[in-house]
Amino acid sequence: MKFSKFGQKFTQTTGISQLMDDMGNALKSDAPINMLGGGNPARIDAVNQVFLQTLKTLTEGDFASPALDSVANYSNPQGDAGLIKALVEFFNRHYDWQLTPQHIALTNGSQNAFFYLFNLFGGEFVEELESGESTHNKAILLPLAPEYIGYSDVHIEGKHFIASKPYIEETTHDGKEGFFKYRVDFDALENLPELKQGKIGAICCSRPTNPTGNVLTDTEMMRLADIAQQYDIPLIIDNAYGAPFPNIIYPQVQLHWDDNTILCFSLSKVGLPGVRTGIVVAHPQVIEAISAMNAIVNLAPTRFGATIATPLLQDDTLKHLSDTVIQPFYANKAKYAIEQLQAELGDTPMRIHKPEGAIFLWLWFKDLPISTTELYQRLKAENTLVVPSEYFFPGLDISDYPHAHQCIRMSIASDDDTLQKGISVIGKIVRELYTNG
């Protein structure tokens, strides 16, 4: 059976499809798997208790219950009106952004939102000229690679991404050596020929960054916003791990929005990945476009997650959980994992990206004798799953960039026993590689 060019693109093996396949296979496996490779959030008892109580309340009323209504009726293509209203009130209450319902759309998860956004602002553009039509391609600019694995393959056509290599800064964490941090190379960024030639359709970054846990500073964010304004392109911020929910972000930073900024949120990392609910805050013109795409691709976004989240936003329960339960939980997880890693690999060239947020640690094995794609396979044979770094550099030619072949992303969302066992396997195999080559 032959597929179209579109079909061939979306059925080929990709980093995100391998990640999800490995995660699904691990859940079905009879053998114990040290799951350090997925993006699934931890199941936190105190958070799940709130969700359970909310569900019980929502199911009251038999056939008239809000829970039944959420699965028995479509929303409009923009998304559940109750959640949109609650979000408008929430953001205006905490940030005074002067939002209206026309500034927010819902999608079936953040991945769905980025499929829309990257194809709205990247790909082939048609310009009307006096001499006729002119077509040209625009790419999405990633100012700091490595970046989220799920971005790589969502474009339908055109050159997907242009990215800039980071500065790598050796640093400390909690007074300890062995850490580094990525910084945006603004000199290289601002001198990109594609930016000056009008070949960039949007700038996009995640904050905190998946995979590294890096948090761009307020100064860096304002400078990116200025560049976007200068070239009349939007700045898209993936806030799936950031403030105000799930708030898995440790430095004190400001969350900014304006008409040229597109903020993307998710219910996944607060502990509801299965409800597939993404949130986009943007100029009404962008919201209208997303709503139109929702109607064609999905008819309407799902409502079940919206129904759970609405009362939790109305009384700030979700923010309270994020601040007092979810953020401290992952901060403790990061601390425990770092202690285990330094005990296992402290005498090797390993460096850890300074943990500033998200649910991962990013490990750099300097001068590793093999690529981390091969390391991934060796760890997988030992029932330990991570994600190799090669998948996280969309928009860069990494054939002559050794650093891009020397890192792994490790989830810290598993229980402590799984973390300890998985790190022990990583330590054993990496120490052998450094010793024996």
Structure tokens belonging to residue 130: 């006096």
Distance CA 401, CA 149 (A): 18
Residue 303 belongs to some domain of the structure: yes
Report whether pLDDT(319) > 90: yes
Q: Are residues 302 and 336 in the same domain?
A: no
| Residue 11: band (very low, low, confident or very high) from pLDDT cuts 50, 70, 90 | confident
Q: Are residues 185 and 157 in the same domain?
A: yes
289 and 228 in a single domain? The answer is yes
pLDDT tens-digit series, residues 242-295: 999 999 999 999 999 999 999 999 999 999 999 999 999 999 999 999 999 999
- Note whether residue 255 is domain-resident: yes
* Residue 351 shares a structural domain with residue 310: no
Name residues whose C-beta falls within 8 Å of residue 231's C-beta, 6 or more positions apart in sequence.
195, 198, 200
- pLDDT of res. 32: 82
Same domain, 97 and 235: yes
- In the predicted structure, residue 23 carries a pLDDT above the cut 80: no
The DSSP secondary-structure symbol of 198 reads: T
Task: Please state the rounded mean pLDDT for residues 386-403.
Answer: 93
- The pLDDT mean for the chain works out to 92
Q: Is residue 59 in a domain? A: no
pTM tops 0.85, yes or no: yes
Residue 171: give its domain's CATH number: 3.40.640.10
Model confidence at 19: pLDDT above 90: no
Instruction: For residue 33, give both structure tokens.
Output: 């798997």
- Confidence bin at 134 (pLDDT 50/70/90): confident
pLDDT tens string 140-191: 999 999 999 889 888 887 668 999 899 999 999 998 999 999 999 999 999 9
What per-residue confidence (pLDDT) applies to 437?
66
Least-confidence region, from 19-28, 30-39, 327-336? 19-28
For 352-391, the pLDDT digits (tens) are 999 999 999 999 999 999 999 999 999 999 999 999 999 9
- Is 85 within the bounds of a domain? yes
Mean per-residue pLDDT for 112-130?
A: 88
Same domain for 332 and 288, yes or no, is no
Nearest to 106 by CA among 257, 246, 233, 294: 294
- Report how far residue 316's alpha carbon sits from residue 82's, in angstroms, rounded to the nearest whole number: 15
270 and 336 in a single domain? The answer is no
**What burial class does residue 380 get, using C-beta atoms within 10 Å of its C-beta: 0-12 exposed, 13-18 middle, 19+ buried?**
middle
326 and 181 both lie in a single domain: no
54 within some domain: no
Q: Which residue among 271, 288, 315 closes a domain?
A: 315
Closest CA to 342 of 333, 327, 329, 352: 352
- 20 vs 416, more confident: 416
Rounded average pLDDT over 79-106:
98
- Predicted confidence band of residue 87 (pLDDT cuts 50, 70, 90): very high
What pLDDT is recorded for position 15? 63
Decide if 143 contacts 222 (C-beta within 8 A): no
Quote the domain boundaries for residue 417. 5-46+321-436
The total number of structural domains that make up the chain: 2
